[in-house]
Amino acid sequence: MIRTPINKRRRVILGILSILALIAGYHALSAWVHSKIPDDTTVPNWSQLAAGIQRAVTPDTISGECWLLSDAKSTAYRLFLGLSVGIAGAVIIGLLMGCFITLEAIFLPPLAFLAKVPPTAALAVFFILVGTDVRMFTAMIAFGILPTMGQSVYIATRDVSDEFLYKAYTLGASNCEVIWNIIVRAILPKLLDAIRLAIGPAVVYLIAAEMLCSDTGFGYRIRLQARLLNMNIVYPYLVLLAAFGFGMDYGLRFLQRIFCPWYTAEGE
C-alpha cells in the first residue's frame, strides 16, 4: 500500500545501509580504476584520501595556516552572514505581504521576477555594485534566497485561517500582537522548512562565488586543487560540505520537533 509507515528502527537501518552501499560503490569504482591505472588520482583510493586529509589539516610550510581551518572559517562566516540577511529580509517582506494587501501588490511582482534571475549569472553585477569582499558574498546569497523564501513566507501567512485572526481581534489584540502571537507561531514550522530548503542553494551560490573571486574558502580550495588533479583533497572537502549541510538540516528538524510538535509525525 502506498505510504505504508515503517518503524523508526527500520528507517535508521535502511539509511545506514544506503550510506554503506554508497561507500562500497566508491570503493569498487576506485579499485577498478586503479587496477588499470595504478597512479590514478581522479578516483583516489583510501590511502590517497588519507594523505589528502593529512595535507589539508597540516599547517602550510609557507603561511603556517591549516587549509581546512582557514577555509572553514571563511566559508562559514560568509554563509551565515548571507543566510542571516536573506532570511531576515524574506521573513519581514513575506509577513508584510501576507498581512497587508497593499504591500502584497507592491512587493509580489518584483519578487516573482527576481526569483527567476540566477544569482550566478548576475555575478558581474555584484562585482560592480559591491566589490569582491564579504559584502559581495552576502549580497549574492541574500539575493539568491530572499525572493523565493519571501514568497514561501507570504503563502504560509496568507494560508493562516481568518478565524484565528478575528478571534484575536475580538479579544482586543493589536495588529502587532496578531502578527506575533498568531501568524508567526502558525507559520513557524513552514518557515523552518523554507530555511532548510534554502541552505542548499545558498551553499551553491557561495561556492560558485568563491571559485571566481576568493583567495580562501571551500570554493577557492576546490577550484585550485581540482586544477592540479588533487582529487584526494577535493573529495574530502565535498564530503565536509555535505556533512555541514546535513548537520544544519538535522538541527532545523530538531528545532521543529521541539517548537512545533504538532507539525511532525514524531510529535503526534
Half-sphere exposure of 226 toward its Cβ, with a 13 Å CA cutoff? 12
The dihedral built from the CA positions of residue 247, 248, 250 and 255, taken in this order, carries a sign that is positive
Q: Which pLDDT value is given to residue 62?
A: 72
Confidence of residue 142 (pLDDT cuts 50, 70, 90): very high
Q: Has residue 266 got a pLDDT over 50?
A: no
Q: Which pLDDT value is given to residue 233?
A: 92
CA–CA gap between residue 158 and residue 154 (Å, rounded): 6
* Rg (alpha carbons) of the chain, rounded to whole number: 23
Confidence of residue 123 (pLDDT cuts 50, 70, 90): confident
- Residue 261 CA: distances (Å) to CA of 46, 246, 256: 42, 21, 7
Q: Has residue 64 got a pLDDT over 70?
A: yes
Q: Which pLDDT value is given to residue 104?
A: 94
Tell which residue, 123, 117, 190, has the closest CA to residue 147.
117
Q: Which pLDDT value is given to residue 236?
A: 94
Could you read off the pLDDT of 94-104 as tens digits, one per residue? Answer: 999 999 999 99
> What amino acid occupies position 205?
Y
Q: Which pLDDT value is given to residue 264?
A: 64
Share the mean pLDDT of the chain. 90
The CATH number of 72-267, from 3.40.50.800, 1.10.340.30, 1.10.3720.10, 3.30.450.40, is 1.10.3720.10
Q: Which pLDDT value is given to residue 267?
A: 40
**How far, rounded to the nearest angstrom, does the alpha carbon of residue 182 sit from its chain's CA centroid?**
28
Q: Has residue 248 got a pLDDT over 60?
A: yes
Domain-wise residue ranges, the chain? 72-267
| Reported pTM | 0.87
Q: Residues with Cβ < 8 Å from 109, sequence gap 6 or more?
A: none
